């Protein structure tokens, strides 16, 4: 049974009392304190992964990839994203003592609508690039034989996997990742001997370009797993845009945009708080890189293997061209599941996940965590005060960090294989390194 101790509405009233503003004179934007509580609960979930939920979906014949955040693919998915650009923008404006976006821009002269929009868009794209957790699948046409270079779609930030599909695409062959030095050293005649590609490179080529090694001898397509730039943020209250990253991680856009806005020259300049915001953005990047998603799973109620797409490519390289009952689910990023071998029909997939924190009704946290969550909500609500008043609330921020560490310690004590269970979402980045610190 879910927690039924304290509602968000009641917690918001308690938060107002903590801030000595029960009549919401200073914290007067619509749902301002509720939004602080939402961020606190989401941050706590991102730190601990305590709230878990099961998702179920059915495979389709000849389909390998399934977006776990798409309700049209996974009905009632607990990984669906709801946070919009307008919601985040209003959280930023509340922190800056600016009026919210209700019908349009009515802000003061310290900031412009264009500054706000540009800062949010830049930080969304940067966060996606910094973390690499938003992985999507896309097929593109291969180069015309015997050309070895192919243009990537606009907005591709990173290529995480490539596979060659000879037309009409019945067979699919994973390509190894390679650089030009390795090509010239180990297969120096590759460019002079077109054949079926065995590797790809995105290193010694122009931007937005992929090289097939060796060049293809015949036409084909390329099956890509990519990190794609974010959606366009319009900040239009009449038609808000879902940001598209995990709800629990959306505060990264808020803090990153605040760092840029407060770090700019002019009347709005506040270097001390800009540095704080930058540190918070980096914190969310680090949390995102280790945030678990799928823990365990079953296919037709039979326990199945859970790992990465690299596991499928390495241990069962023909997983996409062999059709039959699937036995393994590979996770790419946080939200993309790859089912192998290729399903020959409908199979029921059940996965236990670290879900997005629910932010309605009762707060889904233990009673021992309510006070630290309220502490953190008070801390970020105090940001708008600035100066010594805000600096003095750092203890409240640290209280949540300490509480999250204690919760993780308890989870590790009761789950001996906790690290292994949480590994699938990040395993691919370790097996096929994405970034060297």
pLDDT tens digit sequence for 306-353:
999 999 999 999 999 889 999 999 999 999 999 999 999 999 999 999
In whole angstroms, how far apart are CA 37 and each of 60, 95, 239? 40, 14, 24
Contact (CB, 8 A) for 147 and 213? no
Shortest CA distance to 121 belongs to which of 228, 233, 229? 233
What confidence tens digit (pLDDT) does each residue in 297-311 have?
A: 999 999 999 999 999
**190 confidence band (pLDDT: 50, 70, 90):** confident
Overall domain count for the chain: 4
Structural domain that includes position 287: 83-107+118-131+235-291
pLDDT of residue 1: 59
pLDDT > 80? residue 60 = yes
pLDDT > 80? residue 168 = no
Q: Is residue 403 part of a domain?
A: no
Q: Is residue 61 part of a domain?
A: yes
Q: Are residues 326 and 316 in the same domain?
A: yes
pLDDT of residue 224: 97
pLDDT of residue 276: 97
In whole angstroms, what is the distance from residue 412 CA to residue 292 CA? 14
Q: Is residue 112 part of a domain?
A: no
What confidence tens digit (pLDDT) does each residue in 241-295 have?
A: 999 999 999 999 999 999 999 998 887 889 999 999 999 999 999 999 999 999 9
Q: Are residues 152 and 217 in the same domain?
A: yes
Q: Are residues 197 and 276 in the same domain?
A: no
Higher pLDDT, 72 or 435: 72
Q: Look at 225-234, 290-299, 368-377, 420-429 and tell me which has the smallest mean pLDDT.
A: 420-429
**CB 10: neighbour CB atoms within 10 A?**
12
Q: Are residues 146 and 195 in the same domain?
A: yes
Place of tokens 């297969």: 187
Which of 228, 253, 280 is where one domain is finished? 228
Stretch 368-382: mean pLDDT = 97
Q: Are residues 145 and 220 in the same domain?
A: yes
Q: Is residue 414 part of a domain?
A: no
What confidence tens digit (pLDDT) does each residue in 70-123 have?
A: 999 999 999 999 999 999 999 999 999 999 998 888 888 889 999 999 999 999
Place of tokens 């509480």: 403
Q: Are residues 348 and 277 in the same domain?
A: no
Q: Are residues 427 and 327 in the same domain?
A: yes
**364 confidence band (pLDDT: 50, 70, 90):** very high
Q: Is residue 218 part of a domain?
A: yes
What confidence tens digit (pLDDT) does each residue in 1-39 have?
A: 589 999 999 999 999 999 999 999 999 998 999 999 999
CA 154 to chain CA centroid, nearest Å: 20
Which of 208, 228, 248 is where one domain is finished? 228
Contact (CB, 8 A) for 291 and 425? yes
Question: Over the range 396-415, which residues count as b (16 or more CB within 10 Å of their CB) and which as e?
Answer: bbebbeebbeebeeeeeeee
pLDDT > 80? residue 404 = yes
pLDDT of residue 437: 66
pLDDT > 70? residue 195 = yes
pLDDT of residue 418: 87
Percent pLDDT > 70 in the chain is: 99
In whole angstroms, what is the distance from residue 246 CA to residue 82 CA? 9
pLDDT of residue 268: 82
Place of tokens 């059940």: 350
Q: Is residue 29 part of a domain?
A: yes
Q: Are residues 301 and 428 in the same domain?
A: yes
Q: Are residues 352 and 429 in the same domain?
A: yes
**CB 118: neighbour CB atoms within 10 A?**
15
Q: Is residue 187 part of a domain?
A: yes
Dihedral sign of CA atoms 232, 233, 239, 242 in order: positive
Contact (CB, 8 A) for 70 and 77? yes
Q: Are residues 145 and 202 in the same domain?
A: yes
**169 confidence band (pLDDT: 50, 70, 90):** low
Q: Are residues 102 and 240 in the same domain?
A: yes
Strands 328-332, 305-308: pairing is parallel
Which of 197, 228, 259 is where one domain is finished? 228
What integer best gives the mean pLDDT of the chain? 94
Q: Are residues 434 and 339 in the same domain?
A: yes
Q: Is residue 400 part of a domain?
A: no
Quote the DSSP letter at residue 142: P
Contact (CB, 8 A) for 60 and 396? no
């Amino acid at each position: 049974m879910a927690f039924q101790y304290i509602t968000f509405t009641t917690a918001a009233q308690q938060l107002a009392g903590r801030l000595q503003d029960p009549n919401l004179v200073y914290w007067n934007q619509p749902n301002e304190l509720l939004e602080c509580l939402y961020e606190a609960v989401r941050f706590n979930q991102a730190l601990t992964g305590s709230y878990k939920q099961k998702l179920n979906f059915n495979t389709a014949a000849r389909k390998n990839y399934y977006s776990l955040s798409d309700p049209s693919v996974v009905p009632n998915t607990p990984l669906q994203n709801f946070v919009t650009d307008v919601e985040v923008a209003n959280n930023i404006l509340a922190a800056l003592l600016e009026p919210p976006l209700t019908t349009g821009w009515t802000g003061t002269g310290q900031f412009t609508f264009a500054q706000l929009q540009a800062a949010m868009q830049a930080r969304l794209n940067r966060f996606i690039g910094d973390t690499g957790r938003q992985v999507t699948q896309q097929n593109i046409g291969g180069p015309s034989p015997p050309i070895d270079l192919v243009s990537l779609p606009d907005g591709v930030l990173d290529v995480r996997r490539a596979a060659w599909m000879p037309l009409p695409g019945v067979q699919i062959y994973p390509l190894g990742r390679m650089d030009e030095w390795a090509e010239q050293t180990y297969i120096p005649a590759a460019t002079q001997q077109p054949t079926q590609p065995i590797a790809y490179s995105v290193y010694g080529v122009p931007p937005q370009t992929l090289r097939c090694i060796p060049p293809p001898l015949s036409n084909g397509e390329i099956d890509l797993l990519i990190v794609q730039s974010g959606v366009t943020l319009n900040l239009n209250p009449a038609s808000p845009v879902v940001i598209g990253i995990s709800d629990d991680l959306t505060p990264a856009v808020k803090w990153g945009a605040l760092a840029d806005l407060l770090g700019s020259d002019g009347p709005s300049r506040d270097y001390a708080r800009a540095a704080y915001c930058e540190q918070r953005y980096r914190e969310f990047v680090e949390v995102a890189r280790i945030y678990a998603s799928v823990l365990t799973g079953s296919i037709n109620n039979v326990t199945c293997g859970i790992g990465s797409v690299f596991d499928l490519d390495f241990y069962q390289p023909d997983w996409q061209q062999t059709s039959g009952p699937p036995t393994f689910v590979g996770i790419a990023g946080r939200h993309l599941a790859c089912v192998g071998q290729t399903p020959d029909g409908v199979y029921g997939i059940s996965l236990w996940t670290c879900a997005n924190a629910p932010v309605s009704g009762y707060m889904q946290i233990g009673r021992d965590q309510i006070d630290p969550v309220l502490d953190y909500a008070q801390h970020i609500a105090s940001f708008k005060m600035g100066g010594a008043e805000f600096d003095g609330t750092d203890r409240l921020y640290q209280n949540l960090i300490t509480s999250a560490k204690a919760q993780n310690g308890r989870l590790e004590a009761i789950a001996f294989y906790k690290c292994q269970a949480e590994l699938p979402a990040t395993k691919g980045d370790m097996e096929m390194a994405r970034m060297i610190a």
